[in-house]
Structure 1
Amino acid sequence: MTAASSVPYASPASAPGESFAAAPQRYDALLLAGFGGPEGQEDVIPFLRNVTRGRGIPDERLEEVAHHYRRFGGVSPINAQNRALKAAIEAELAERGIDLPVYWGNRNWSPYLSEAVQQAADAGDTRLLAFATSAYSSFSSCRQYREDFARVLEETELAGAVTIDKIRQFFDHPGFIDSFVGSLAESLGGFLDEGLPAGAVRVLFTTHSIPTADAQRSGPRDRDFGPGGAYEAQHLAVAAAVMRRVAQRDARLSGVAWELVYQSRSGPASQPWLEPDVCERIAQLPAEGVEGIAISPIGFVSDHMEVLWDLDTEALEAAEDAGLRAVRTATPGTDPAFVSGIVDLVEERMAAVDPAARPAETALGPWFDVCRPGCCENVRAGFRPAAAGVAP
């Protein structure tokens, strides 16, 4: 494969495969890529089949997960949240005078990515810049979206006519970091105002657990990120950045300890996943002198089902059982800092801003415009064709 074509399905500015866009690039539209979720009881099992396709999981096992959705009428809030995010991005683009339509498509439920890409092509918008609603590096949070872009272009027979680039992973962009700070600072300050000493308060930063083998393969393979790969390293760096901002807002909070925990594990007990589990950790905290906890879901961009169920239901119940005061702080949602940050990233990519001038709140960033060879391999299936990255 020649250097000029090392990135399949890419725009001219990204096709050479450099880590960062080589030249300013005009885009026709923004593609908002989401996970998707059911919007009624009859949707739940078909949706879960989509999520687990290729794994041979029978419906009776899927039903064990389905009860989370059924408790909420079979409706995941994620689609409504993405509609709100799409509207907020459109408003911010209009405010800045950027003429860029926004198409929204999901990996696992309607509206599907294939529908969004076809709609864009039918409108003559063939050079797309994608924003995926996942901030970190791993197979499920980055590469799987890129594989879906490639699959959709092939299935719609638009490969060669439509190109898809992807905005860099935004875990340490100031807009993302800032969207967690206000709610967390307010919650922690409330504990102190109620008389709890800072040493009796703990922040639990939480994110989706993934298999350890997937975590170890997250990020480019030519860099040692530690035992949890780029996925864990990025979350730890983000948590530290959030706490720095929190302490800047309220100096009393500089003495509050924090740690990274995981949630929503779904694999067999025999398979190692990232730990500790949030509920198991909560049960241990009273013995360490902790009286109040703030749960900050830094792994998620909105209050979807794994926040409403795994945190607002299970984790808060675990805190009650442990006799702890507990609060779950806000996700970015449509926070103005987050929405503004997304459009900042769009402008950054269109202008091919020099990496040294790009904002990043951790030493790990700014992350790449074009994913590197061997990045975020799928342990089960290896490397499949993917857009927005150099082919392995």
Structure 2
Amino acid sequence: MTNTVGVLVMSYGTPESMEGIEAYYTHIRRGRPPEPEQLKELTDRYEAIVGGVFPLRENTDNQVKALQETLNRDERTTEVEFRCYQGLKHARPFIEDGVEQMAKDGIRTAVGIVLAPHYSTMSVGSYIKRAREKAEELGIQMSFVESYHLHPKLIQAFASRVNAKLDAFEEAGAKRGEVRVLFSAHSLPERIVGMGDPYPQQLLETSEAIASRTGISNWQFTWQSAGRTAEPWLGPDILDTLQNLAREQVEDVLVAPVGFVSDHLEVLYDLDIEAKTIAKEIDIRLMRIDSLNSDPLYMETLSDVIIGRWRQGTDA
């Protein structure tokens, strides 16, 4: 009889429909409904991207399906069957829902992973905390992958996308070495630096590895999508960085959002609409690398670290 190992695939989540945006935003705000102008702004952003929220939800579904197929094709795992479950931070199925479904299906051993390569106590750490608490409550032995930011196949996948867009710049008449590459990721509150959080350093390590593999030296790191709170967030923000580059007379910029692994609002709106609008106003030609989404190399990255964690056994 084949043993079944559960895999809890966690991500931020997105509303199921335009009608679900208010409930989603309220959950992000820990039960406090958004002000009307805040709700309108978020709704407008979803409406601005092609197809609204639906492609974002479908994309995550596709990643989970592709990951399960990749895991069960691996020759190292013939004695077990992996079954993937979704667990979202701010939308259904919530993280706890995914763990509960595992328990209902008789799963007793599982691995949890977040669709984010870089660890922070404020992001990945919070997902793991919720999953671990529910798993312990339901008697599931669940171990976790905390980060995979330097996995060779992840670096290869990002590097191939950087090279493809640099080729596109050359075809458009730009000199490859003069294109400024901006690696970016979602900002977090500045206080994580004082906490010794590994998030900023891991992002720099990923960026350096991609730069080394692609042979580029004309690059820098920037932040994006900071929350609107009273406390300071990590910067500089990409919109400010673009203004600075315009003053340096940089004409061509490639954005590589290595902190994100799929197309969602922070990519499709914050970069493809907001940043590109600013770039056009200041005469910068801006391109963005394609997102990983369900790329086989990314699926193999996830599969490899999940299998590795499963083989190491569950956390004590």
TM-score (norm 1): 0.73
The gaps in structure 2 that reach 5 residues or longer are none
Distance in 2, Cα, partners of 1:264 & 1:69: 15
The 5 A counterparts of 1:206-285 are: 206-217=184-195, 219=197, 230-247=198-215, 254=216, 256-268=217-229, 270-285=230-245
Matched AA of 1:59: E
Instruction: Give 1:218 shift.
Output: 5.0
Distance in 2, Cα, partners of 1:266 & 1:61: 16
Matched AA of 1:244: S
String of CA shifts for 1:165-215, please: whole Å, max 9, x gaps: 111311111122222111211211332344423453100111111110034
Secondary structure in 2 aligned to 1:271? coil
The 5 A counterparts of 1:40-79 are: 40-53=17-30, 56=32, 58-60=34-36, 62-63=38-39, 64-72=41-49, 74-75=52-53, 77-79=55-57
Instruction: Give 1:78 shift.
Output: 3.1
Distance in 2, Cα, partners of 1:67 & 1:217: 36
The 5 A counterparts of 1:4-19 are: none
More helix by share: 2
Secondary structure in 1 aligned to 2:123? helix
| Match in the other structure for 1:113 | 95
Which is bigger in relative contact order (C-alpha 8 A, separation at least 6)? 1
Aligned pair partner of 2:159 in 181, 186, 198: 181
Query: Is the 2:18–2:43 contact (alpha carbons within 8 Å) kept by the matching residues of 1?
Result: no
| Match in the other structure for 1:363 | none
Aligned pair partner of 2:300 in 331, 340, 345: 340
Matched, 1:34 2:11: yes
Distance in 2, Cα, partners of 1:237 & 1:182: 17
String of CA shifts for 1:123-147, please: whole Å, max 9, x gaps: 1112110111121122332111022
- Percent sequence identity over matched residues? 26
Query: Is the 1:135–1:170 contact (alpha carbons within 8 Å) kept by the matching residues of 2?
Result: yes
Secondary structure in 2 aligned to 1:284? helix
| Match in the other structure for 1:133 | 115
Instruction: Give 1:36 shift.
Output: 1.0
Taking a change above 3 Å as real, the CA distance of residues 242 and 259 of structure 1, as seen in their structure-2 partners, is same
Distance in 2, Cα, partners of 1:130 & 1:173: 17
The gaps in structure 1 that reach 5 residues or longer are 1-25, 220-229, 248-253, 353-368, 371-387
The 5 A counterparts of 1:90-109 are: 90-97=68-75, 98=77, 99-109=81-91
Taking a change above 3 Å as real, the CA distance of residues 53 and 218 of structure 1, as seen in their structure-2 partners, is farther
Taking a change above 3 Å as real, the CA distance of residues 57 and 123 of structure 1, as seen in their structure-2 partners, is closer
Aligned pair partner of 1:144 in 114, 122, 126: 126
Secondary structure in 2 aligned to 1:159? helix
Instruction: Give 1:262 shift.
Output: 0.8
Secondary structure in 2 aligned to 1:66? helix
String of CA shifts for 1:14-47, please: whole Å, max 9, x gaps: xxxxxxxxxxxx8721111121111212100100
Taking a change above 3 Å as real, the CA distance of residues 48 and 171 of structure 1, as seen in their structure-2 partners, is same
Taking a change above 3 Å as real, the CA distance of residues 338 and 261 of structure 1, as seen in their structure-2 partners, is same
More strand by share: 2
Query: Is the 1:138–1:215 contact (alpha carbons within 8 Å) kept by the matching residues of 2?
Result: no
Instruction: Give 1:305 shift.
Output: 0.9
The 5 A counterparts of 1:284-323 are: 284-323=244-283
